[in-house]
């Protein structure tokens, strides 16, 4: 059995061990003990805080294997991407060029530095152990952040985005960076990421990055090919998020050209089709008929818990049957309400 | 003998016959009787001052008086870009700097601009191959500066000249391949033919309008920005000696440089002088330089402006011209002429 | 009783009479007999056409008073706004300005000429007689277009927009136009609208309008005040559309600065909460309990019909009760399916 | 007697005392011992050529040798914008035209640019009020051109001079009120004080970066683009006579014009001459002009460059300077000096 819950102070050592094995990348967990401690403290404070307007809160969830008492995954959500500045990205623009004499018109693809994602809530730090990647727990972990947002909308923006790492070569070089960022930063991709700490909301971005649109046809072929392409390590996240309703066409990362998935909450399945149901105690029998996987979360704020169950279709039902064991894990009792969504 | 003179109504056939020999290099002198006739009419109206200065097109022909042939042609357009937008790329500089990272990046940038709108343009220079010798090319090209020096009030704006841009051995343009090609999806020669019709505004309509860092272009395209076509290098030097400069404007199509000058900085404005035609005296003879330099001389009549090269040198405001010279200029003793040393004096500093 | 139906050839005279009384404006009905005939023919052809990809179709609906046998309202929807070119609008952009030395950052509002609405479907030509503006039939008329789109999604884009006329003074002048368009077009607002025929997809827009962002703080106060403001005649449409889920913040009209409402279909109530129910024959009795207004549409393509009824809550029901008279009007029989949405 | 000379280590106190009298108009000469000391050190290193040309700051003082007072100061910066971005607005032209509507609209446009990066700058001109008479102002300002003419290899780029922009009677700047104000939300004097610290890059960081049509600005702001402050008009005329031109670059803050020139187009480059100091002879006397004009004369020594005004006139490569002049220049008979007529010769055309 696996459960998703907010990170706790006791998880720090486990996260440190996890950070050592996760791939080097910019949108994953912090790497050093100090940074991990900070992230955990910030998350605990965020869950505990009274929030009216989303600000600097950052919520970190872990996926725990109850059998092994072991942390096997992480996922985070920032209340507001630009709480420490302005979150910069490239917007995919289409510029119309029309020639009356030649009676032709072209659409030209251009990248414009923009700050539109600043007030969005940002999903990040998604990681699950290899062995679980094909299982519903991966989806549960990714979606728990949104279940929490459904329950506590005042803590988040109306829109969400997720930057996914772009493609790099075996030496850590990025063809997109080489064609663009390098010309302005005068340094290697990994050096730039180190110097900026993976952030996209620093003053030096305004100072160095181009203010005029970048015409895509002028980029070298390998840089164009890298636009919107994900690093292989991000495929699972990409698939889970596009199923959820996230769209990938509008923004890309200013450094490596990786895709930035985004959506209005109305377009997300967790928001549009989650159900609030009463808990009733199941009889422990496997129900008849076809079963589907659901993510079920309690509505307990800082004591948030979510699990997956296989259940008959819940649409149109008033209650969901949970075994006493699951009720324990979710910290709910008969009659309590839980939030359910198919995974 | 050769004289450069204002074109007139009787020159159309000779002009057409010369246009047939120009080849594809020049967009403004096509063997098209209707086009040439219109242009001639405009030129005649320009010298007659019956149309406003900005619509004028002062066209000059070089006539071989020995056989009545037209040996060359050149022109000054009163103003460009007033009926159809006149586009260039202007090269500017943008600096990106971050003290935190200690990065300071200076980048050249292309701006699509109409800055040269209203400038007068030196254009349509063509010398028949039979006459490409001696000072003929200089006479033809520089005669225009003498005209400007004589009638500076007709030229209140900048003077510009568009130079043909660099082309590779195979006739392709690295700048076009690196930039325009991505926005046209036509090959260079097709676009070249289209521009030959004299309409370049469609290029601008399809070119990127937002400023572009030159660094985005391939190396070969970057290298030819502001570089002239091999065959145009002598013409460029000649204009630069007369006071025109490359100031960072280039053709949007092949990145050939635009040379430009304020009227007041033209050598002809500083160094040309009026002189009265008078017979040589002992005194002027004594004061004349030992090694006379060829001198451009013109009359001072707008409607029938005529220029020649002479070996006579003006001294103390007088010049002794031969009877032949006077005939070519349609001048007489006592008339005032304008003179300009054909070659640039070396600075004595 | 009122019904919404596709326009028919026999409606031309009525539409001409209507056009004479509607206010002069750019997003309403065509004014001349010729133009009206064209619009009607185009609509009839569009309803009849087999469509795989939205293109030049334009669907015109009328609201008919069955008692008076009179047309009392119109509403249209274009399959693709830019089918004849590129639909231009101003996008509201925020440009970040940061000064490290002064440790301040500003957000500057700028308007950028863009063509993002080109592939959207466009609602337009909404008009209802004064007397009906407060009644549910107004909402029915507006929404019928979307009910049709729910039934025939292949005929429309994934996103929709509606330009609403901006504010003008008593002489037909537009403060927004005076500050912007006039500088480039060198003519009065109404002259420009006449010359361009209310269109926003003409080559001359590219030729004349500014290609660089317009910094809003530099516009005169009255022009700034006019941005996103609707002409009083558009208030009803504005209210109906924002209730529907349209948002007004992202785009404004390039001529008069009027708001352009837009939404992804997922965000529209007609799409997210319409129900497909079976028809059953009602007993003619007023049902017990609270009643709410529903728009009910058949699913008959070119024979589309929609009416409003007052009904108990239909959520969770399998069928809707309709009187034989209503079934006649809707051209449905017991057991047929209809599309229902609250208005 | 007044001499303009390269500043040296002993001038710090006198420089400070003069800086206290400059007032708020000049941003680069503040009575700050540390700042002035640093600047002096840079200037000394510049004349000693111990720092690279682009870091140099050639500072000159006008010394009253009768009392040892410093009467004025001026400088030439080797290059601007190489450590901190140097911003201007450049005025360009964009044409919007539609044949269908028969509309042709030519609009001036402001481009935020770093185009002048690397230019040498004439700056820090200040003449003590006690000395504002006769030719003193001209001597001080023009001495820099003589220096450039003597050492042109030190100045490979453009020469520029920023002119203070127009201000209303109440000291406000219509350009700032019409543009910068909307992006700063600070009043003019507060921003003025900030720029007085010599850091203007923050202005650019907060100013609109995308090209702006001047037509968007209020009428009063449009009218003062490229206009100088009333008190700066004479300085502008003086620089224009020396060959600098307004080429469409203005200050991003008050829209004051930047005057600029290529080194080669400076009057001093054309008209200054070397002359050997030699006693007057009958011959030279005979050839001398009847009404001698004041002449700028300098020695030719970089480290201790010195300039004066004299009534002597160079004739045929020789000049007869008085003993006093020679003392001021630290020259002797037989030395070579550089001369330049103080005033511009009227064109004889």
The answer, for B210 touching chain C at a CB cutoff of 8 Å, is: yes
Which sign, positive or negative, has the C-alpha torsion A50, A54, A56, A59?
Answer: positive
Report chain A residues whose CB lies below 8 A from the CB of B96: 184, 207-210
| CB atoms A206 and C96 under 8 Å | yes
Separation between Cα atoms, residue B146 and residue B128, nearest integer Å: 22
| CB atoms B100 and C211 under 8 Å | no
Statement: residue A24 has pLDDT above 60: no
pTM for the structure as a whole: 0.89
Q: What is the pLDDT of residue C253?
A: 95
- Angle formed by the axes of helices B33-47 and B12-19, to 10°? 130
Separation between Cα atoms, residue A60 and residue A75, nearest integer Å: 6
In degrees, to the nearest 5, what angle opens at C-alpha D53 toward C-alphas D52 and D58? 115
DSSP bridge partners of A99: A104
| Catalytic status, residue D229 | yes
The answer, for A310 touching chain B at a CB cutoff of 8 Å, is: no
- The domain spans of chain C are 84-118+158-272, 273-342
Which tokens belong to C137? 């039939």
CA of A107 to nearest chain C CA: how many angstroms apart? 10
Helix (H) or strand (E) holding B287: helix B282-287
Q: What is the pLDDT of residue A161?
A: 96
The average pLDDT across A56-71 equals 94
Separation between Cα atoms, residue A282 and residue B39, nearest integer Å: 96
**CB-CB: which of D99, D100, D209 is closest to A211?**
D209
Separation between Cα atoms, residue B164 and residue B256, nearest integer Å: 5
The answer, for C284 touching chain A at a CB cutoff of 8 Å, is: no
The 10s digit of each residue's pLDDT in B300-336 is 999 999 999 999 989 888 999 999 999 999 999 999 9
Residues of chain C with pLDDT under 70: 22-28, 284
Separation between Cα atoms, residue C6 and residue C63, nearest integer Å: 9
List, in order, residues 6 or more apart from D239 with CB less than 8 Å away.
D122, D141, D161, D259
CA of C289 to nearest chain D CA: how many angstroms apart? 59
The answer, for B269 touching chain D at a CB cutoff of 8 Å, is: yes
| CB atoms D182 and C218 under 8 Å | yes
Going by CATH, does the domain composed of A273-342 fall within 3.10.180.10? no
The 10s digit of each residue's pLDDT in A130-171 is 888 889 999 999 999 999 999 999 999 999 999 999 999 888
Per residue, what are the HEC states of chain A? CEEEEECCHHHHHHHHHHHHHCCCCCCCCCCCHHHHHHHHHHHHHHHHCCCCCCCCCEEEEEEEECCCCEEEEEEEEECCCCCCCCCCEEEEEEEEEEECCCCEEEEEEEEEEECCCCCCEEEEEEEECHHHCCCHHHHHHHHHHHHHHHHCHHHCCCEEEEECCECCCCCCCCHHHHHCHHHHHCCCHHHHHHHHCCCCCCHHHHHHCCCCCEEHHHCCHHHHHHCCCECHHHHHHHHHHHHHCCEEEEEECCCCCCEEEEEEHHHCHHHHHCEEEEEEECCCCCCCCCCEEEEEECCCHHHCCEEEEEECCCCCCCEEEECHHHHHHHCCCCCCEEEEEEC
Separation between Cα atoms, residue B291 and residue B343, nearest integer Å: 13
**CB-CB: which of B81, B84, B95 is closest to D114?**
B95
Q: What is the pLDDT of residue B196?
A: 63
The average pLDDT across A179-190 equals 92
Report chain C residues whose CB lies below 8 A from the CB of D208: 95, 108, 110, 215
- For residue B48, which phi and psi values (nearest 5 degrees)? -85, -5
CA of C124 to nearest chain B CA: how many angstroms apart? 31
Out of A109, A211, A231, A266, which one is annotated catalytic? Answer: A231
> Neighbouring chains of D at 3+ CB pairs within 8 Å?
A, B, C
Which tokens belong to A71? 């942390």
Question: Which positions of B are annotated as active-site residues?
Answer: 229
- The domain spans of chain D are 81-117+157-270, 271-341
Instruction: Write out the CATH class of domain B271-341.
Output: mainly beta
Q: Do the Cβ atoms of A323 and A330 come closer than 8 Å?
A: no
| CB atoms A184 and B183 under 8 Å | no
Which tokens belong to C152? 């025939």
Q: What is the pLDDT of residue B205?
A: 76
Q: Tens digit of pLDDT per residue, chain D (349 long)?
A: 899 999 999 999 999 988 888 766 566 677 889 989 999 999 999 999 999 999 999 999 999 999 989 999 999 999 999 988 899 999 999 999 888 888 899 999 999 999 999 999 999 899 998 999 999 999 999 999 999 999 999 998 899 999 999 999 998 999 999 999 888 877 777 777 777 665 666 766 788 889 999 999 999 999 999 999 998 999 999 999 999 999 999 999 899 999 999 999 999 998 999 999 998 776 666 666 667 789 999 999 999 999 999 999 898 899 999 999 999 999 999 999 999 999 987 643 3
User: Helix, strand or coil for residue D309?
Assistant: strand
Q: Which of B243, B239, B240, B344 is nearest to B296 (CA)?
A: B344
* Mutant choice from A87, A98, A116 vs C, greatest count of C C-beta within 10 A: A98
- The mean pLDDT value of chain B amounts to 90
DSSP bridge partners of D76: D58, D122
Q: Write out residues 93-132 of D within 8 Å (CB-CB) of A.
A: 99-100
Q: Any alpha helices (H) in chain D, and if so which ranges?
A: 12-19, 33-47, 136-150, 174-178, 180-184, 188-196, 201-206, 219-223, 233-241, 267-271, 282-287, 323-329
**CB-CB: which of A207, A213, A215 is closest to B98?**
A207
The answer, for B349 touching chain D at a CB cutoff of 8 Å, is: yes
pLDDT grade for B280, boundaries at 50, 70 and 90:
confident
Q: What is the pLDDT of residue A181?
A: 94
The average pLDDT across B83-93 equals 92
DSSP bridge partners of A297: A306, A339
Q: Which of B215, B110, C105, C214 is nearest to A207 (CA)?
A: C105
Separation between Cα atoms, residue B174 and residue B223, nearest integer Å: 9
| CB atoms A206 and C316 under 8 Å | no
The 10s digit of each residue's pLDDT in A213-247 is 999 999 999 999 999 999 988 899 999 999 999 99
> Neighbouring chains of A at 3+ CB pairs within 8 Å?
B, C, D
Report chain A residues whose CB lies below 8 A from the CB of B101: 185, 187, 195, 204, 208
| CB atoms A106 and B206 under 8 Å | yes
Higher pLDDT, A192 or D301: D301
**CB-CB: which of A95, A108, A204 is closest to B98?**
A204
Residue identified by tokens 């006592």 is: B334
The answer, for D190 touching chain C at a CB cutoff of 8 Å, is: no
CA of A341 to nearest chain B CA: how many angstroms apart? 47
Statement: residue A282 has pLDDT above 50: yes
Which tokens belong to A54? 């989303």
| CB atoms C98 and A245 under 8 Å | no
Dihedral angle over CA of D18, D19, D20, D24, nearest 10 = 130
Statement: residue A319 has pLDDT above 70: yes
Q: What is the pLDDT of residue D349?
A: 36
Q: How many CA atoms lie within 13 A of C305 on its CB side?
A: 16
Residue of A nearest to B203 (CA): A99
Residue of B nearest to C213 (CA): B210
Which tokens belong to C211? 């290609």
CA of A109 to nearest chain D CA: how many angstroms apart? 19
Q: What is the pLDDT of residue B348?
A: 39
CA of D103 to nearest chain A CA: how many angstroms apart? 15
């Amino acid at each position: 059995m696996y459960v998703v819950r907010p990170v706790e102070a006791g998880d720090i050592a486990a996260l440190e061990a996890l950070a050592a094995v996760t791939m080097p990348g910019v949108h994953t967990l912090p790497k050093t003990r100090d940074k991990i401690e900070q992230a955990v403290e910030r998350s605990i404070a965020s869950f505990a805080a009274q929030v009216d307007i989303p600000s600097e809160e950052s919520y970190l969830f872990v996926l725990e294997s109850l059998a092994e008492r072991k942390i096997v995954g992480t996922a985070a959500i920032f209340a507001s991407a630009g709480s420490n500045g302005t979150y910069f990205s490239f917007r995919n623009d289409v510029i119309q060029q029309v020639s009356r004499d030649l009676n032709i018109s072209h659409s030209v693809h251009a990248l414009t530095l923009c700050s539109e994602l600043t007030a969005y809530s940002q999903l990040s730090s998604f990681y699950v152990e290899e062995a679980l990647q094909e299982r519903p727990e991966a989806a549960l972990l990714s979606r728990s952040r949104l279940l929490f947002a459904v329950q506590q909308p005042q803590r988040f923006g109306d829109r969400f985005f997720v930057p996914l790492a772009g493609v790099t070569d075996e030496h850590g070089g990025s063809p997109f960076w080489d064609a663009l960022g390098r010309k302005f930063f005068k340094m290697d991709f990994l050096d730039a990421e180190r110097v900026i700490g993976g952030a996209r909301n620093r003053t030096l971005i305004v100072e160095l990055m181009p203010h005029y649109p970048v015409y895509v046809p002028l980029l070298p072929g390998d840089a164009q090919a890298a636009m919107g392409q994900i690093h292989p390590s991000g495929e699972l996240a990409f698939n889970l998020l596009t199923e959820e309703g996230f769209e990938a066409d509008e923004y890309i990362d200013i450094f490596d050209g990786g895709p930035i998935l985004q959506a209005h909450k109305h377009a997300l399945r967790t928001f549009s089709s989650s159900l609030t149901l009463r808990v009733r105690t199941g009889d422990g029998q496997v129900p008849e008929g076809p079963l589907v996987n659901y993510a079920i979360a309690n509505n307990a704020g800082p004591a948030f818990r979510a699990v997956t169950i296989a259940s008959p279709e819940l649409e149109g039902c008033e209650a969901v049957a949970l075994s006493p064991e699951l009720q324990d894990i979710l910290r709910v009792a008969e009659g309590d309400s839980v939030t359910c969504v198919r995974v | 003998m050769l004289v450069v003179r204002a074109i007139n109504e009787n020159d159309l056939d000779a002009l057409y016959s010369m246009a047939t020999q120009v080849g594809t290099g020049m967009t403004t002198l096509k063997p098209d009787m209707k086009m040439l006739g219109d242009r001639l009419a405009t030129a005649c109206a320009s010298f007659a001052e019956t149309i406003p200065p900005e619509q004028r097109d002062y066209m000059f022909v070089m006539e071989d008086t020995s056989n009545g042939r037209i040996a060359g042609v050149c022109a000054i357009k009163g103003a460009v870009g007033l009926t159809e937008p006149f586009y260039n790329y202007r090269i500017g500089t943008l600096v990106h700097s971050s003290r935190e990272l200690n990065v300071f990046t200076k980048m050249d940038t292309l701006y699509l601009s109409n800055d040269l709108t209203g400038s007068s343009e030196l254009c349509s220079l063509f010398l028949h191959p039979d006459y490409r010798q001696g000072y003929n090319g200089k006479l033809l090209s520089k005669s225009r500066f003498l005209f400007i020096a004589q009638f500076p009030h007709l030229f209140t704006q900048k003077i510009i000249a568009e130079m043909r841009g660099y082309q590779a051995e195979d006739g392709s343009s690295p700048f076009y391949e690196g930039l325009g090609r991505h926005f046209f999806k036509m090959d260079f020669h097709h676009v070249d033919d289209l521009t030959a019709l004299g309409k370049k505004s469609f290029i601008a309509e399809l070119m990127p309008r937002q400023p572009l860092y030159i660094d985005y272009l391939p190396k070969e395209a970057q290298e030819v920005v502001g570089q002239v076509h091999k065959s145009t290098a002598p013409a460029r030097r000649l204009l630069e000696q007369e006071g025109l400069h490359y100031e960072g404007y280039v053709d949007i199509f092949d990145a050939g440089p635009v040379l430009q000058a304020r009227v007041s900085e033209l050598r002809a404005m500083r160094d040309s002088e009026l002189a009265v035609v008078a017979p040589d005296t002992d005194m002027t003879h004594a004061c004349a330089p030992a090694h006379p330099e060829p001198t451009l001389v013109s009359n001072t009549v707008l409607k029938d402006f005529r220029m020649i090269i002479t070996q006579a040198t003006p001294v103390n405001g007088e010049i002794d011209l031969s009877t032949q010279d006077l005939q070519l200029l349609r001048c007489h003793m006592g008339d005032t002429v304008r003179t300009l040393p054909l070659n640039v004096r070396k600075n004595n500093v």
